[in-house]
Amino acid sequence: MRFYLLLAAIAASMTFAYALVIWKLSQKYKLYPAIRERDMHERPTPRLGGLAIFLGMLTTASVAPQLQVPAIDLIFQDSTLIICLLIASFITVIMGLLDDLIGLDWMIKLAIQIVAALILGFGGIQLYSLPLGGVTIASPTIGLVITILIVVVTMNALNFIDGLDGLVSGVAIIANSVFFTYVLMFTRELMPSANFGLSMMISALIVGACLGFLPLNWHRAKMFLGDSGALVIGLLMAASALSIVGQLDPALVNQGSQVGQSDILPAFMPVLLPLVLLALPLLDFVMAVVRRLAAGNSPFRPDKKHIHHRLMDMGHSHLGTVLLFYAWTAVLTVSFLLMFILQPWRLALIFFGVGVLVCLVFTFWPKIFRKQKTSPTEVIKGKEQLS
């Protein structure tokens, strides 16, 4: 536990240092694109945050083996896995940087994302089994296809919500902190393996890197994650989940009474938790794809109809919308984890119910407040203007 906290601290400090250097260079050489119609900011801002995130995590991962911790030594024994993870991350960052600076066709970006997913699969990070009540995927081909789908959808789900300052960084911090806690529980109850260690290391690196980048990404942001940052975070989150979910022995998962205290969900937790962690990004992704296809457009054609745009149209401020995303993410993820931990599990429903109620109130508060603020005089004036 302490070792992973140390990794997160190193990643945070290194990412912050890299981000400062990249921001200053971006300002000096004007490495930022013009403001687009769908953008929510008012001044040209560098989109090279993904490079700082990648360099911060890469530097930390390079230092990790030198600390001589058994759990990490176990991870780095498989050099193919680490090399493939590094290559997949590298090409994702390069693709994102090119798109942020000069723009790339969506088909090219999709093709590169599929290649990155294939590289992960080649390195062993793919779905071999589905720990859902003992179900096991028999065909490696089917497992690889599902792996590609999971990786590509996760990458784009994170990228689609990257429209406000600090939104993706904060959501990633919350989601990966919860997932790290879940994997840590499994590690303490079952025999540690490279898969568990890799998953926790990736989660710790993401949390640390996002914490280090957030000071420059907080409203009003000095620098954005850009496609390079959102996509590589999505790639690594998918890799973290697949490294444990896709290769976990269903027989171990079914030993629910040995892992956590809840008497339900053990057999479903590994599959459901990653979905809950990305509930809002996945919801926004599905809505965007359906909306664009229904209009006869490319599913990757940008617009201003994402969930965060709709919340701002309701009357939420820029920062208020981001904090509301944080709140919903925290309520959903922590509630689901508590269902696995608490005995009886129904106690978690109390937290979930109260959390959802509070989030709903704050979500619709601008409309409620606006109705209360409207006076009879203002209503009469409005009618006179219409007539």
- Any alpha helices (H) in the chain, and if so which ranges? 2-29, 49-63, 70-75, 79-101, 106-122, 140-160, 167-189, 194-217, 226-245, 250-253, 269-277, 279-294, 307-314, 318-341, 346-373, 376-386
Residue 69 forms part of a structural domain: yes
Residue 86 forms part of a structural domain: yes
Residue 40 forms part of a structural domain: no
Residue 277 forms part of a structural domain: yes
- Output the CA–CA distances (angstroms, integers) from residue 210 to 27, 203, 351, in the order listed: 21, 11, 27
Instruction: Provide the token pair at 136.
Output: 């096991």
Query: For 227-243, how does the pLDDT look when each residue is reduced to its tens digit (9 = 90+)?
Result: 999 999 999 999 999 88
Q: Could you count the other beta carbons within 10 Å of the beta carbon of residue 44?
A: 15
Are the CB atoms for 51 and 93 separated by under 8 Å?
yes
Residue 65 forms part of a structural domain: yes
Looking at the structure of the chain, the number of domains it has is 1
Q: Of 129-138, 202-211, 261-270, 303-312, which range is least confident?
A: 261-270
Residue 288 forms part of a structural domain: yes
Cα separation, 362 vs 366, in Å, equals: 8
Q: How far is CA 336 from the centre of its chain?
A: 17
Name the pTM for this structure.
0.89
Give the bridge partners for 135, in sequence order: 132
Q: Comparing C-alpha atoms, which of 37, 333, 39 is closest to residue 164?
A: 39
Residue 364 forms part of a structural domain: yes
Q: Of 192-196, 254-258, 356-360, 366-370, which range is least confident?
A: 254-258
Phi–psi pair at 134, nearest 5 degrees: 90, 5
> DSSP of 274-291, one letter per residue?
HHHHTHHHHHHHHHHHHH
Query: For 68-112, how does the pLDDT look when each residue is reduced to its tens digit (9 = 90+)?
Result: 777 778 888 888 889 999 999 999 999 999 998 888 999 999 999
Residue 39 forms part of a structural domain: no
Question: Dihedral through CA 114, CA 74, CA 11, CA 87, nearest 10?
Answer: -30
Q: Is the pLDDT of residue 259 over 50?
A: no
Q: Of 4-13, 173-182, 308-317, 367-376, which range is least confident?
A: 367-376
Query: For 124-163, how does the pLDDT look when each residue is reduced to its tens digit (9 = 90+)?
Result: 898 877 655 555 665 778 889 989 999 999 999 999 999 8
**In the chain, % of residues over pLDDT 70:** 82
- Domain that residue 273 falls in: 2-31+45-386
> For residue 269, what pLDDT band results from cuts at 50, 70 and 90?
low
